[in-house]
Copies of this chain bind each other. A is one copy, B any other.
């Protein structure tokens, strides 16, 4: 049994933990337990699961000090950032509790028997039901909000699906403590083992998605990781969906009017957005299009000054640090000029210097338009809209596209730009920054490949849809139906004979 180790990125020290890698036999046992727990979780019903999610949020917050301390030593992220991230994790569970109480997410629909142009139609009733146990792959960069206690887990449990998380190797202790907190909430409701579990080690991840009991997988990670998991899924007799959030360069376009009107403020915003959390956010802006005019010059000057006086950023692990250094060097070899980069002294941990690079629009290649995970942003100076349009066409689709405009800017040009961004992103941000994803009902955190596999979100209320499947009942006796589909049930919105009927309070 291989012992699981953990590394403090602030000093690079590796320690052994009490955890061991999860071998195939243990994966099989965990998956079987998850399968066995599905009926309890589904049987809780919407309101019972809402109570469970609230209890999980409470359990996480009651262990805040220990959880944040564990994450601090495993990720090098700052205490305030991790403290807020734990709050976000709790908020996510509570949001899904609201989603469950609202009940609209089941998409309940009733077509009573009726005469139709095709003859007598039977009574048909439809709603969404849980897909079954879900494998979640924890992300490196969010030890709470995209890991064991993250949004995928919250959405899957809300849907009624037990969850097995493959813990990210960068934070095994945080993962273990998170699973323990969630497990305590489940036991507090007399739930069985298997509603939540964590596994450790790459082989465990592959074994997990190959196991017949697992019905879907969710990943926030790299394209390479997604390919490896998909290859394991392809070994199954029955395919399962892989919901993947992968790579995103998140272009930001600054229009001349915006640069002229508030260049200094935008310089502040860009700096915070590309260096916050060490630039290790999937929504970090990796490309900023700044006009090559006096307003743009002043903006860039202000941005350079901020970068030049910044300190080093501790990255999450050695692999990410090495990849950052390699990618940044490759960008320079590919023609990007260093616009600003502070000196960062020798350091025992995984510290790197925030880096601002600069190119002209004709110099933007596919390589330079690729994501560099970490505190690096490439500035593209453009003169004409045609240069901007051509450069944007080189940028791969992203989770987000942002645009800053000012009162002097042309609305028709803005409309064209928005259409171009809409075709290549999942969220369009106006006069703001893509980082700091609001957790809410209308949020969409997805986008055309390679940012995700396009048609679903991994943040927000609608992310629950990933873990549900439709089921229809035809001419069913009333007592067989789920309560949401019985004639006299009015507590949730339903579509009855084609018309949307709001919930009756």
Contacts and interface: CB of A to CB of B under 8 A. Distances in A.
Interface in A451-505: 453-457, 460-462, 466, 468-477, 479-480, 493, 495, 497-498, 500, 502-503
A419 to B, nearest CB: 9
B438 A116 contact: yes
B131 A444 contact: no
A379 interface: no
Interface residues of A, number: 80
Given A98-B498, A450-B238, A454-B131, A124 B475 contact: no
Identical chains bound together, number:
2
Contacts of A241: 453-455
Interface stretch (A106-114, A266-274, A336-344, A367-375): A106-114
Given A91-B116, A91-B117, A455-B131, A476 B428 contact: yes
A442 B111 contact: yes
A470 B428 CA distance: 12
Contacts of A456: 470
Contacts of A107: 462
Nearest to A498: B441
Contact of A470 (B122, B215, B446, B450): B446
A184 interface: no
Contacts of A453: 239, 241
Given A104-B500, A122-B438, A124-B440, A427 B471 contact: yes
A191 interface: no
Contacts of A475: 429-432
Contacts of A479: 411
A194 B420 CA distance: 21
A442 B480 contact: no
Contacts of A462: 107, 109, 126, 470
Interface of A: 84, 87-88, 91, 98, 102, 104, 107, 109-111, 116-119, 121-122, 124-126, 129, 131, 215, 238-241, 397, 411, 414-415, 418, 422, 426-432, 436, 438-444, 446, 448-450, 453-457, 460-462, 466, 468-477, 479-480, 493, 495, 497-498, 500, 502-503
